Chain A
Amino acid sequence: MTPRKDLLDIQSLTDEELDFILTNAVPFKNLFKRSVKKVPTLRGRTVLTLFYEPSTRTRSSFEVAASRLSADVVNFSVSTSSVVKGESVLDTISTLEAMRTDYVVVRHSNSGIPNLIAKNTTASVINAGDGFHAHPTQALLDVFTLKEVFGGDVRGARIAFIGDIQHSRVARSTNLLCRRMGMHTAMLAPSSLIPRDLPQDIAVFGSWAELYAWKPDVIYLLRVQMERQNVPFFPSLGEYHRQFGMTDDRLARVRDAGVWVMHPGPVNRGVELTDNVMTYERCLIDQQVENGIAVRMSVLYWLKPGSATEEAVV
């Protein structure tokens, strides 16, 4: 396997690389059961988190993953005033180069920023979410979780994404990976939040009734991204919940059918789902969070920063 510097999206991963990441996440997860949850794998390496968008769970997940691999973690403080300026990003890249960082974990509201950074630094760049584009580690942890649930083989399983498809990088990346792993995928959302020109073989539904008929094994609730909707895509959050959310009635039906429920977080309670979903025995949200650390450890272990590759050559 040729050493890979960056993880920017799901598309560019080879089957061999995918298998490597998902397979190696297993021993890393097993590590969590030990009293000392740390290995010296990345001792002496520096992981820098560069979050231009607010995030708690993804950033913490990367921090924990890096520290469990014994890397030093630095949080780069990004002022909100520099978010929209391409110039500021380029200036930041220069700074990163000067700091000789090994890994840069970046989140930005503009699609393509991680690609731009990756082109301009020798550090390994991990896309932790860019605009509406990609969130590859989320997709990897989601599929890792599904493999656990389905006993290692997800082929043929049916997963439906519900909610703000249009503005969701999770929907793009996870959906793509699920399809690649042999799953059947569907989408349910207000038509205003369904992108045009979706691949032909993705089923698109307009109501829960149609979704029930499709018999999903997994329902993946997406966060309604109100902050990204500069014009209204639906009349109100209340109406959204009534028409598309997982209400108690729908939860009862889902429970009867034994359907698994996922959500990338953070959850909008009363919008995407009711409180009762959080205690549903087949709700995988906490499992997703735990697996996120293992998968991100595996990704950090797998990537080879420019400096590390040079050392290997020497």
Chain B
Amino acid sequence: MKRLFQHAEIASEDSPKLTRADVLVEDGKIVQVAPSIAAGEGVEVIDCSGKILLPGLFDVHVHAREPGQDQKENIRTCSEAAINGGVTGFVMMPNTSPAIDTAGVIKTVLESARKCRIPIYTSGAITKGREGKELAAIGAMHAAGAVMITDDGYPVGNPVVLRRAMEYAKNFGLIVASHCETMELSGKGSMHEGSKSYSLGLEGIPAISEEICLDRDIRIAQYTGTHVHIQHVTTARGMNTIRRFKEEGVKVTCEVAPHHLIFNHEDVGEYDTNYKMNPPLRTKEDNAALLQGLIDGVFDVIATDHAPHTEFEKNSDFGSAPFGITGLETALPSLYHYFIKDGKFGWDLVVKRYSAEPRRLLGHAPVPIEEGGTAEFIVFNPGATSTFSRDFMKSKSINTPFINKTLQGRVDTVVLGNEVLLSR
């Protein structure tokens, strides 16, 4: 089976400039990348004029909700949502019900994952039941296939437990991913503590809740010599703390979510629960600082924190609604619409931070569009638009600020090996 992607603009992590080329795929391999390739007999030709080819995206922070919460999502629907957004691999978070905290649950979810059309990986919990008290069976989970450990959704509140977890994880080369929040400071907060939370009369989550925990977790990682990955950073001060520790040589990586680059706490408007997430949307100044941090390379990866919830749960008052928004299907169009289109950053940054580096984080090789490589890429159409209607979305849940809104740019095609997973 041969497919020829003609007249495409190829994106790579090495250059902000796109390269015009044709790409020939045969039996799941990229066999030729050249300025012009003639279509031979029996070759399926896909005209990519005006479109961008970029390596398949990889998301290290996804809530697939399986096991236990399949009214929100399951691994299969999550994988289809990922494909719909151009994501060809992701890492599940362990805050399921029951939590993914044993080798048995790891095996179960990986069994479900194997039935999907893209590779899916899972993290395991740091502590049993994510309760922050006793260490989970970290070694056994690693042996069963866990690629990182995290209690995401919660921090490990007790620094001694975190220290021991980090020391122990080192034996297995596991990354310890950290949801940074000082729960006592967050209290019953439901959005960023600031002028907007005051005017809405909502309890706030102060920036220091995240910043104090972030500082603590990196210091413990520094002390133990463990690789810590800081999840969903939202404040300029927190980001600068990471920058400083990185300069000191501490093994710390971090991620930023598209929604924390695009939206701020004012967007909550009149109690729109599709803007309720944890960590919360911060200030406009934080947006700008985070964007600069992404461009400067403080952030290693972009990750969505895809967090599906049912309409029923979100159709509640702001304080009672659950935290979290979906992101897999909106990430790339939103990055294009808000940043690339206006020249704030180039395609190379997306390839590096949302495809290559996330794979490297797990010790996997990136999937550049070059001869000899496996075909794992997407065709993005900047001339088209995406309207995030219920019909468009493949996730079971539609809790996103973009619901029924239209953004410039659309994922037209997703190719993985010999399969075309998506074709619009």
Q: Which residues of A contact B (CB under 8 A)?
A: 11, 84-87, 89-90, 108, 110-113, 115-116, 130-134, 169, 172, 195-199, 230-231
Contacts and interface: CB of A to CB of B under 8 A. Distances in A.
Contact of A134 (B201, B203, B206, B312): B201
Interface in B115-173: none
Contacts of B202: 111-112, 131-133
Nearest to B203: A132
Given A116-B271, A196-B194, A89 B317 contact: yes
Interface string B185-206: 0011000011100111111001
Contacts of A131: 201-202, 319
A132 B321 CA distance: 17
Contacts of B206: 196
The contact size tier of chain B is: 20 to 34
B316 A111 contact: no
B318 interface: yes
Interface in B312-326: 312-313, 315-321
A111 B201 contact: yes
Contact of B319 (A90, A112, A198, A199): A112
A86 B198 contact: no
Given A112-B271, A115-B270, A230-B187, A84 B320 contact: yes
B309 to A, nearest CB: 12
Query: Which of A133, A169, A197 has the most chain B CB within a 10 Å cutoff?
Result: A197
A88 to B, nearest CB: 10
Contacts of A87: 312, 316
A111 B317 contact: yes
Given A112-B271, A197-B194, A132 B201 contact: yes
Given A133-B200, A133-B201, A197-B195, A110 B270 contact: no
Interface in B289-315: 312-313, 315
A132 B196 CA distance: 12
A143 to B, nearest CB: 19
Given A90-B316, A112-B271, A230-B188, A196 B193 contact: yes
Nearest to B195: A197
Given A86-B316, A86-B320, A111 B194 contact: no
Contacts of B200: 111-112, 133
A248 to B, nearest CB: 34
Contacts of A195: 198
A84 B320 CA distance: 7
Contacts of B317: 86, 89, 108, 110-113, 115-116
A110 B199 CA distance: 14
B189 to A, nearest CB: 12
